[in-house]
Amino acid sequence: MPLDHYVTLGRSGLRVSPLCLGAMTFGQEWGWGSSVQDSARIVDRYLELGGNFIDTANVYTKGHSEQIIGEHFKPSPSRRQRTVIATKFFGTMLHGDPNSGGAGRKALMAACEQSLRRLQTDYIDLYWMHCWDVHTPIEETMRTLDDLVGAGKVRYLGFSDTPAWKVMEAQMIAKFRGWSPLIALQLEYSLLERTIEGELIPLALAHGLGVTPWGPLKAGALSGKYTRANAGTAKANRGAWTTSALTDRAYTVIDVLVKIARDVGSTPARVALSWVQNRPGVASTIIGARTLEQLEDNLAALEVHLLPQQTAQLDEVTAPQLNFPFDFVRNAAGFSSSGTVINGVQAPVNPLAPKSEADRF
């Protein structure tokens, strides 16, 4: 799938590229990342190849990421119009101020105004709640977001890093009260982090929420740079974000990833990205690039086509342990419909079920 073969995001009319350009690397205030000039080159190349979806957050590089994007698009209003710019609220922008972050009305409205100023735009295409605020009633957050949509400052809404039950509560409140609904979820998803398959992915599939995975390379752990051969010696630019993921289990996954990449004539990073992008529910995967070369390498993941047996091999070696009642429900077919076929699924025979009407009370 080429970068300019767009998909609608969730149950909405918003068209986005299958790979989204993540801008957390724009700016060097965190000790790593891209210079202003390199960030501009990365954006230009992404747009040149047909990409139209850029994701940032108010807290990325202390606000500099948003500012870099705003400065870059300011000279060309038409190019800004053609681009879907997403940003996030929740993260604090001032140490010691309890209302500088979170999802309360005061913090949220201030965060939106500040992001609009840094982005130098009149509206945000997609506004994400960066994380669930356990201190704020979800009704307050959703009502405030609806007000921002009504004011024309925000076009679409999404949640990131929020439990499935809270997403569902927010969505039902919005629908019953006629407020703007969520259209997407931004969630960590990779070969090394699959636990969202327990509840969040089924929720997204059932209720038309487009999934935009972040961390598809697990902070670079799946880039191909780190192998058993150089364990403990390869330098990680992101420090503990990367090294904490490099467990013995991770190296087992990387071994398989490297082999499959060799078999398909590609790179481990591209294979890992291809696997994520083709998972059920995924609309647009967020890729980060600190250099132009990394961008080109990651975008080439759209050209990778894994065989069913290769996907199955990756599925098997990365199978997650999911929360109760996932396994109970998955194994309940015989319990509910012993020996029958429903929607193409053959239920096993339940040895405890009555075999005939005469066998039951």
- Report, as an integer, the average pLDDT of 92-121: 97
What is the reported pLDDT for 159?
98
Smallest CA-to-CA distance from 301 within 190, 200, 202, 201 is with: 190
Q: What is the mean pLDDT of residues 190-216?
A: 98
Question: What are the angstrom distances between the C-alpha of 118 and each of 78, 122, 198, 226?
Answer: 18, 11, 37, 36
Exactly one of 6, 60, 127, 226 is catalytic; name it. Answer: 60
pLDDT at residue 228, rounded to an integer: 85
Separation between Cα atoms, residue 254 and residue 232, nearest integer Å: 15
Give residue 214's region: left, alpha or beta (phi > 0; psi -120 to 50). Answer: beta
Contact 187, 161 (CB under 8 A): yes
Q: What is the reported pLDDT for 324?
A: 93
Share of the chain above pLDDT 90, in %: 83
Question: How many angstroms separate the CA atoms of 10 and 12, rounded?
Answer: 6
238-252 pLDDT, tens digit each: 667 788 888 899 999
Mean pLDDT across the stretch 293-304? 95
Interval 118-135: pLDDT, tens: 999 999 999 999 999 999
**pLDDT band, residue 49 (cuts 50/70/90):** very high
Q: 151-166 pLDDT, tens per residue?
A: 999 999 999 999 999 9
Q: Is the confidence at residue 237, as pLDDT, over 70?
A: no
Residues in CB range of 288: below 8 A, 6 or more apart = 22, 24, 25, 294
Rounded percentage of the chain residues whose pLDDT exceeds 70: 98
Which has the closest alpha carbon to 125: 80, 180, 89? Answer: 80
Where would I find the beta strands (DSSP E) of 189-329?
210-214, 285-288
For 309-354, the pLDDT digits (tens) are: 999 999 999 999 999 999 999 888 888 988 899 999 899 999 888 8
Q: If we measure between CA atoms, which residue out of 194, 191, 163, 212 comes closest to residue 256?
A: 191
Average pLDDT of 246-267?
94
Backbone angles phi, psi at 241, to 5 degrees: -55, -35
**180, 127 contact by CB (below 8 A):** no
Residue 232: pLDDT over 80:
no
- What span, in angstroms and rounded, lies between the C-alpha atoms of 38 and 236? 20
Predicted local confidence at residue 245, as pLDDT: 81
In the prediction, which pLDDT does 68 show? 98
| Contact by Cβ (8 Å): 122, 152 | yes
The span from the CA of 284 to the CA of 282, in Å, is 6
Flag whether pLDDT at 298 surpasses 90.
Answer: yes
pLDDT(274) > 90: yes
pLDDT at 236: 65
Positive or negative, the CA dihedral 212, 213, 216, 220 is positive
The radius of gyration computed from the CA coordinates of the chain, to the nearest angstrom, equals: 22
> What residues are paired with 126 via a beta bridge?
86, 156
CA 43 to CA 45: how far, in whole Å? 6
At residue 333, the pLDDT reads 87
What's the pLDDT band for 1 if we cut at 50, 70, 90?
confident
What is the pLDDT, as a whole number, of residue 285? 98
Pairing label, strands 19-22, 154-160: unpaired
Q: What value does the mean pLDDT take over residues 2-27?
A: 97
Average pLDDT over residues 223-247: 77
pLDDT at 357 over 70: yes
Q: pLDDT-based confidence at 57, cuts 50/70/90?
A: very high
Report the top-level CATH class of 7-304.
Answer: alpha beta
* pLDDT per position as a tens digit, 67-80: 999 999 999 999 99
Q: Which two tokens stand for residue 357?
A: 């009407």
Q: Is 60 a catalytic residue?
A: yes
Instruction: State yes or no: cis peptide before 325, omega within 30 of 0.
Output: yes
- Angle between the N-to-C axes of helices 64-73 and 105-119, in degrees from 0 to 180, rounded to the nearest 10: 40
As beta bridge partners, residue 193 has: 190
Rounded to whole angstroms, what are the CA distances from 142 to 46, 84, 150, 339?
33, 22, 12, 46
Residues 237 and 220: beta-carbon distance below 8 Å: yes
